[in-house]
Amino acid sequence: MFRISCMQNWFNLFDRKMEYTLYEIKSMRRFQGFSGVTDTLPDETTILNFRHLLEQHELTAILLEAINVHLKAQGLLIS
């Protein structure tokens, strides 16, 4: 679920749009570790609840920065 939160931040996706994106874009599903639309994909409410949990504990910015540092060390850039 944390990768979903990162993707929401990187691509400025609302919860409903994130759910739609997971169903419609194969590369996004693969990044999340789902093999296809037949997998149990998180719905809008699950995504919302997880995002609120991260916000409640003020973890969103901290974890996103850690992921970006890791990606940069690997020579990757999300834009």
Q: How many helices (H) and strands (E) does the chain have?
A: 5, 0
pLDDT of residue 79: 67
One digit per residue, pLDDT tens: the chain, 79 residues? 888 888 888 899 999 999 999 999 999 998 888 887 777 899 999 999 999 999 999 998 898 889 889 989 999 877 6
pTM: 0.78
Which amino acid is located at 2 in the chain? F
Look-up: residue for tokens 């809008």? 44
Q: If DSSP codes are grouped into helix, strand and coil, which group holds residue 40?
A: coil
> Cα separation of 10 and 67, whole Å?
11
> Cα separation of 61 and 14, whole Å?
17
Look-up: residue for tokens 């998180």? 42
